Amino acid sequence: MNKNQKIKAVIYAIIIVACVYGFAGYPNTPISWTAIKNNFAERIHLGLDLKGGTYLIIQVVTDDAINAETDQTIETLHSELLDRQITSADLRKRDMNHIEIRGLDATHLADFRDLINEKFSGSWDIGSLAGEANGATLSMKPSVESELRSEAVRQTVQTLRNRIDALGVTEPVIEERSTGDYEVLVQLPNVNDPEKVDRVIGQPAILELKLVHDGPYVTREAALATKGGQIPPDQELLKSVERSAPGQPSGEQWYFVDRVASISGRDLKNARPQLDENGRPAVGFTLNNAGAIRFSQVTQQNIGKQLAIVLDHKIQSAPVIQGQISDSGQITGSFTQAQAQELALVLRSGALPASLNYLDKKIVGPSLGNDSIRQGIVASVVGFVVVVVFMIVYYKLSGVNAVTALFFNLIILLAAMAYFGATLTLPGIAGVILTIGMAVDSNVLVFERIREELRLGKAVVSAVDRGFSNAFRTIIDTHVTTVVSALFLFLFGTGPVKGFAVTLTVGLVANVFTAVYVSRLIFDYHLSGKQRNATLSI
């Protein structure tokens, strides 16, 4: 073996040793079968189809995001009209993306249009109002509506990921589906408690702090009767879930509150479970700087009034503002300790921008996963053994070279998955099996090229050199095209398909290294120092 071959042997040996430690354990851990199994279980995670868990397809009700944007625009427009002293008798939402303005002062029509063009032209188109000379209609631009819907889905994905990460779920799949129906795919391996999933994922956790106008009323009908059967445009009627005070009769409680919240969940900085003044479970929260400034102003200007703490459109409590409050508050109500902890979790993760509809919900049992793992392992082992027997019988001692390269290929593939902490799925096992086949295919290409050179009367050393050189281009072409296909599978496929693409790509890269470089080194070592008339068992 010459110096160049020795350097290659050392480099290849370092790579193989590093790979062995990747799936067998760290240097300080004795290598054993138990250590290998434990390391695999810790570093290579099983996907939903192998381990079992929860499978969900969720549709985001993006209309909620459009309604919220329209409500916020109405509140902003109302403030701007007051600041500019532009009077309007009626400002209301006609539907989720249209706003009607009635009763404008004729002398302020030009000022109103200037306001719209200055502040709202990027999102709203202004038009005339049928049957109303001094009125106008604002219509949300289609491009803005489309972006709001897409953003609602993206924010939902991120919020769900934050909540699920807080639950400690390993390797979840949370991604938008490409159906165009605003759907999200959620896969939670080894999570088999659908009720807890519903509580944590499905809770919108829309926190709002709204000033109370009137209440409480014992029934909704009694509340509406005080307003002539109509809810004022700037108010809404909400039910309270707060427990009645000791000594008072229990029952429903209804309040008229501001339609637009003074503080919302977007102003939250943190939330944590704690106890209220009576020792009952509660949730404390702190606000960010912008929210703290507004909260301070609201509480200072409304001392003595009630402030409703609204969660998912239900009033949790309606305490009286005793003094100015800056950056913190507390949500009290009929919580258990577990409910307070879950509520704090979802509030910290952020409120969902829209409500959710479950289109599909499945609990995948682990028995299916065990069968798949067993059958996949059997298929891999059988395939490997058949390939080994064929290569040795057909190519004789050169087949041993191919088997050695194939063995190193599998070591590199498993080590890469362990180092990356990859998730192994059933299609991923199929990718491993396909890698075995393509590894053999590469060796067959090389060996047949060598055979052709030998038939032409070339010396063994020359035949090996020409065989590897001529086969290299074909191997690279086939592997590059397959890797490109795997890349598209990874970019546009779902979780299991991505697992197939990852294992296939890593296996192909490892195959180029083992079938071309490692196998060539073995041949060179075997032929080093031999005469030109040396023979090769192929």
| Per-residue pLDDT tens over the stretch 180-230 | 889 998 888 777 776 777 777 766 667 788 899 988 898 899 999 998 888
* Whether residues 240 and 91 fall in one domain: no
Structural domain boundaries enclosing 430: 3-50+367-527
State residue 436's pLDDT score: 81
Q: How many domains does the chain have?
A: 3
* Whether residues 417 and 317 fall in one domain: no
Whichever domain contains 105, its CATH number is: 3.30.70
State residue 244's pLDDT score: 46
| Per-residue pLDDT tens over the stretch 128-157 | 887 777 788 999 999 999 999 998 898 888
Spatial CA neighbour of 307 closest among 265, 271, 339, 263: 263
State residue 367's pLDDT score: 59
Measured on CA atoms in the order 413, 417, 423, 424, is the torsion positive or negative? positive
From residue 488, alpha-carbon distances to 28, 67, 119, 491, 498 in Å are 40, 37, 43, 5, 9
- Name the helix (H) or strand (E) containing 282: strand 281-287
Rounded to the nearest 5°, which phi and psi values hold at 165?
A: -60, -40
Whichever domain contains 271, its CATH number is: 3.30.1360.200
As a whole number of angstroms, the distance between CA 224 and CA 240 comes to: 15
* Whether residues 13 and 81 fall in one domain: no
Q: Does residue 162 sit within a domain?
A: no
More confident residue, 240 or 264: 240
As a whole number of angstroms, the distance between CA 409 and CA 392 comes to: 17
Q: Which pair of structure tokens corresponds to residue 4? A: 């160049």
As a whole number of angstroms, the distance between CA 514 and CA 520 comes to: 9
Per-chain mean pLDDT for the chain: 81
Q: Got the DSSP string for 34-83?
A: HHHHHHHHHHSEE-HHHH-EEEEEEEE-THHHHHHHHHHHHHHHHHHHHH
* Whether residues 430 and 496 fall in one domain: yes
pLDDT above 80 (res 470): yes
| Per-residue pLDDT tens over the stretch 150-177 | 988 988 888 888 777 766 666 678 888 8
pLDDT tier, 245 (very low <50, low <70, confident <90, very high otherwise): very low
* Whether residues 113 and 25 fall in one domain: no
Q: Does residue 361 sit within a domain?
A: no
Poorest-pLDDT segment among 142-146, 210-214, 425-429, 530-534:
530-534
Q: Does residue 381 sit within a domain?
A: yes
Q: Which pair of structure tokens corresponds to residue 283? A: 């949730």
Decide which of 308, 332, 356 is a domain's last residue: 332
Q: Does residue 133 sit within a domain?
A: yes
Rounded to the nearest 5°, which phi and psi values hold at 126?
A: -100, 140
pTM for the whole thing?
A: 0.57
Beta strands in 298-376 (DSSP E): 307-311, 314-317, 328-331, 356-364
As a whole number of angstroms, the distance between CA 506 and CA 500 comes to: 10
State residue 142's pLDDT score: 93
As a whole number of angstroms, the distance between CA 163 and CA 196 comes to: 12
